[in-house]
Amino acid sequence: MNGQFEPQSFDAVGIGIGAFNLSLAALLKKTENFKYKFFDKKEEFIWHEGMLLENAKLQVHFLKDLASCVDPSNPYTFLAYLADQDRIYQFLNRKKNIVSRHEFNSYFKWAAKRIPGLNFGEKIIDLQYNEEKFNIITEKRSLYSKHLIIGTGIQPYIPERFSKFISNDFFHNCEFKRHINKIDFTNKRVAIIGGGQSGAEIFDTLISQKNKPAEIIWVSKRLNFQALEDNCFANEFYTPYYVNYFYNLPKDVRENKLKLQRLTSDGITEELMDEIYNKLYELKYVSQENLKFELIPNHNLSQVKKYGKEYFLTLLDEDLKASINYAVDIVILATGYQPYVPEYLKNLFPNANNANELSINFDYSINWDHCQKNKIFIQNGAKNTHGVADPNLSLAAWRNAVIINSLLGKEFYKTNKDQHILGRTLPAYGQNPFNLHIPQVLDEANP
């Protein structure tokens, strides 16, 4: 090449190093003669930086880590981290399965420093496909790969009608940690929009700090501030078997099930709900601090107007369609996230505005013109096809086992997608989770 080195060629390149691609890299460590690299523009690993709050807890069991569920002997499990840090006995003596997100972030950082093939501080600036290979251009190099794994995650969902207000006092909750260190909330009127776990953690943080706001309103369009469905049967939706079952359902049935199962992933942990309620009881009846608070479920933020430094919010009652108005100084949108198509992929998928419009195969690869020879896998972009567990840590290791088996063209890891407790098919959650399969002969004998 005219005196220049030929760009390196790999079997797979991962773009983005969040928890999911970190898990993939941990599991790829055991492969032989399989060349891979991962890239991320961040200088170092950080997990949900904007919401690493003091009260933030992990919502899944700690064994649902980078590798344990498919490869418990992997050197990058959470238990391996605890042993390396000389605190495994003290951790077990806690008699709790709940782990703070701070501790899990420290675990991820520990793993990210040890897992080979990870390149931080290196942004992807272009990606092209030709001659049965991908050409990836970073800020530092050019390289080729047979396959790609997209792990750039999801992006904050901000309703379009409110995007023009985004500023230092009107922002998405993913920016909360940064803003709380800069904004003096004392004597401010604050509105939190969104009744999920993030909204609850922010509300709890604001009512717990020493310099409290003068007034807080917490708005949710849900019927109430609803708890996470975390019982044993609800957790069957977070198993390989259910992903297999869900994937083979008609599209309209899948859409309906996602609505019914929402609170199995998007509710507030019962522990945090009870803690908030007790703090509000103390504030209102015991300490009688000068803090006004109002919890407003069953309302939707329908309109925002700004006059000077104030925001005038119109909240619409979901049942009566009647409006109420509030004036506040700060608005925090705990409105969730949405999948998207990164810019560098848009030349391959020019008609896809977001990841929901992509056709996803069972092995998490995108169904595109050259998918037989060159696969593009997507992490956290297949909720509509693979079910409610897709954005969750619960099946991260299992999903990566599926991806690795597809990359290698053989069963390198067992995926156990046929193991389950419930009946032959699972009912939509909320209808009858105890509807176990009963053989027909018993039905006839015991009508």
Residue 47: phi and psi, rounded to 5, are -110, 115
Is the model's pLDDT at 432 over the cut of 60? no
Percent of the chain with pLDDT over 70: 93
- 175 and 132 co-located in one domain: no
Which domain, by its residues, includes 203? 157-228+267-333
- Give pLDDT, residue 447: 34
- Give pLDDT, residue 433: 36
Is the model's pLDDT at 340 over the cut of 60? yes
User: Comparing 328 with 428, which gets the higher pLDDT?
Assistant: 328
- 101 and 169 co-located in one domain: no
For the segment 128-155, the average pLDDT, to the nearest whole number, is 94
Is the model's pLDDT at 431 over the cut of 50? no
E strands, 231-346, in order:
292-296, 299-307, 310-317, 323-328, 330-333, 337-338
- 208 and 305 co-located in one domain: yes
- Give pLDDT, residue 288: 75
Is the model's pLDDT at 6 over the cut of 80? no
Is the model's pLDDT at 5 over the cut of 90? no
Q: How confident is the model at residue 300 (pLDDT cuts 50, 70, 90)?
A: very high
For the segment 341-365, the average pLDDT, to the nearest whole number, is 84
Cα dihedral 420/424/429/433 (nearest 10): -80
> Which domain CATH number covers 106?
3.50.50.60
- Give pLDDT, residue 237: 94
Is the model's pLDDT at 281 over the cut of 70? yes
For the segment 101-112, the average pLDDT, to the nearest whole number, is 97
Q: Has residue 2 been placed in a domain? A: no
Q: How confident is the model at residue 102 (pLDDT cuts 50, 70, 90)?
A: very high
Per-residue pLDDT of 164-190, as tens digits, reads 999 999 999 999 998 888 888 988 999
- Give pLDDT, residue 430: 41
- Give pLDDT, residue 131: 87
- 224 and 175 co-located in one domain: yes
CB atoms within 10 A of CB 113: 11
- 101 and 146 co-located in one domain: yes
Q: How confident is the model at residue 11 (pLDDT cuts 50, 70, 90)?
A: very high
Is the model's pLDDT at 439 over the cut of 50? no
- 319 and 172 co-located in one domain: yes
- 143 and 74 co-located in one domain: yes
Per-residue pLDDT of 237-276, as tens digits, reads 999 999 999 999 999 999 999 999 999 999 999 999 999 9
Cβ atoms 106, 53 nearer than 8 A: no
Q: How confident is the model at residue 63 (pLDDT cuts 50, 70, 90)?
A: very high
Q: How confident is the model at residue 434 (pLDDT cuts 50, 70, 90)?
A: very low
Q: Has residue 34 been placed in a domain? A: yes
- Give pLDDT, residue 424: 56
Q: Domain total for the chain?
A: 3
- 286 and 211 co-located in one domain: yes
- Give pLDDT, residue 416: 79
Per-residue pLDDT of 23-62, as tens digits, reads 999 999 999 999 999 999 999 999 988 889 988 999 999 9
- 144 and 163 co-located in one domain: no
Q: How confident is the model at residue 419 (pLDDT cuts 50, 70, 90)?
A: confident
For the segment 62-89, the average pLDDT, to the nearest whole number, is 97
Question: 395-398 — which CB contacts under 8 Å span 24+ positions?
Answer: 395/64, 395/69, 395/238, 395/239, 395/240, 395/243, 396/19, 396/20, 396/23, 396/64, 396/66, 397/23, 397/27, 397/64, 397/65, 397/66, 397/67, 397/68, 397/69, 397/70, 397/71, 398/69, 398/70, 398/240
- 205 and 274 co-located in one domain: yes
Q: Has residue 416 been placed in a domain? A: no
